[in-house]
Structure 1
Amino acid sequence: MKKQLKVVVTGGPGGGKTTALDLFRREFGNKIAVVPEAATVLFSGGITRSKDEQVLKMIQKTIFQLQKNLEDINKAHHPDRLLVCDRGSLDGLAYWPGNEKDFFKQVNSTFEEEISRYDAVIFFESAGATGHDISSNNPVRSESSEQAARLDVALQNIWARHPNFYFVGSSESFVRKIMFGIMTIENVINRYQRE
């Protein structure tokens, strides 16, 4: 039996991930299963954001576990599909109020264990990283363009350590950016079908 591939689509807020994932669903249909973003599931379910460090850590630990559980559910439900994850388990590291060592101690894992969960990473650079507006229709997004740019750098530093890291830069043409993302995932699917 072929190994089921799992791809992370990530990046700073306002990078176009939501639009890209919607187009991926339309373009690839039942070849892929899209795993929803754990943070959006949590915050749209009634949990409110907090600046309190202890609460922040509890929220990030919950998001970490929920992300992994959502991936496992989709993996079991769609064993014949490429899993495309809206963010991955390492995204919480960029939002963590402590250091990397503390994060992995709190979530009872390691960087190596988490990075190995994914076969490829497609990183959509935030529009905020190039000084553009990041407004969207996501009701749970609360970051400013400046915060989005900082998160983008932090997330890029984390995920760029993956051996199959694909960077989709913020472009003047959003359509070109999305097309590059679609071509990248198509290449991953083609690799999957050859194995």
Structure 2
Amino acid sequence: MTFRDPTRITLTRRRFQRAADPAVAIAATTPDQPITRPRRIVLTGGPGSGKSTAASFLAREFTGELWVLPESATLMYRGGMPRGESPVGTQIAQRAIFDCQCALELAHGEQHPDRVQICDRGTVDGAAYWPHDDANFFRTMGTSHERELARYDAVIFMHTAAHLPAGYERDLEVRTEDRDLAIALDDRIFGLYASHPKLVTIESRGSFLDKLIAVRTAVAELLSIELATEFDTLPPRPSVPLSTLAGLGTLSADMLP
């Protein structure tokens, strides 16, 4: 599929409908166990996986169904938290990120109790950046690996684009990892979530639009929603400033890109 900029995609028709057939639901149920909606879904993956873009996409696609939480690490670092350059500094930062994530989930759950939360990373992710082993991380946070996994009713894991020959872009403000470290962290975070009973894996793809659609389909299945959509692509942005075109009554062919 030809790559299409997800910021230039519009939906010409969208329809959400609750699944009438219980078999459509992703959760296994019994006659005595009704289908229940997830309360909280974590969207995670290695650096450069596209999860933050996917989270914004989901917020638009499932308006009224979901409430997307910001990434706590991004909030902390852009808010002035220094990146740890020593084991102690890393521990300070990761403890703050863990506490921020817990507070975000509680606060948004209190304010929007009818929405399903989509978390841009979860409390488990911090163990991948911790300078000691997993057990030390969860013990330091006063919790356990099992308890933190249980916070989330489902996990959608997006593998990093660093696995592709040319698909990883480094953002020195927030995403400081090079390609090799991005892949290592991708493997590390996946291992932390691998035992979750409801884990959905989204592989890296040549087309990011395909990846977004796969995430969207996974969320629809988790919410037991049937959807029918036709995608349309907006015209490309002009390569010249819009102010240059202002006031022109007609455009000749040689004036267009």
| Common topology (TM > 0.5) | yes
Unaligned runs of 5+ in 2: 1-35, 226-257
RMSD value over aligned CA atoms?
1.6
Identify the structure with the greater strand proportion. Answer: 2
TM-score (norm 1): 0.92
2:167 is the counterpart of 1:133: yes
User: In the alignment, is residue 123 of structure 1 matched against residue 157 of structure 2?
Assistant: yes
Match of 2:116 in 1: 82
In 2, Cα distance between the equivalents of 1:114 and 1:138? Answer: 30
Please give the per-residue CA displacement for 1:75-108, whole angstroms capped at 9, x wherever unaligned: 1111001100000000001000001121111100
C-alpha distance in structure 1 between counterparts of 2:86 and 2:70, whole Å: 26
Q: Select 1:21's aligned residue among 31, 55, 58.
A: 55
Q: Alignment identity in percent?
A: 35
Distance 1:117 1:60, change over 3 A: same
Which residue number corresponds to residue 11 of structure 1? 45
SS at match of 1:186: helix
Change (3 A) 1:132 1:158: farther
Larger C-alpha radius of gyration, 1 or 2? 2
What SS class does the counterpart of residue 152 from structure 2 fall into? coil
1:160 to 161, 178, 194: 194
Deviates more, 1:125-134 or 1:5-14: 125-134
Shift of 1:178: 0.8
The answer to whether the 8 A contact 1:4-1:80 is kept is: no
1:63 and 2:97 matched:
yes
SS at match of 1:121: strand
| Superposed CA offset, 1:50-74 (max 9, x none) | 2210110111111111101101111
Residue 42 of structure 1: how far off its partner (Å): 0.2
Per residue, is there more helix in 1 or in 2?
Answer: 1
- Alpha-carbon separation, structure 2, partners of 1:140 and 1:26: 24
Matched, 1:188 2:222: yes
Distance 1:136 1:143, change over 3 A: closer
What is the aligned residue count?
A: 190
Where does the alignment leave 5 or more consecutive residues of structure 1 unmatched?
none
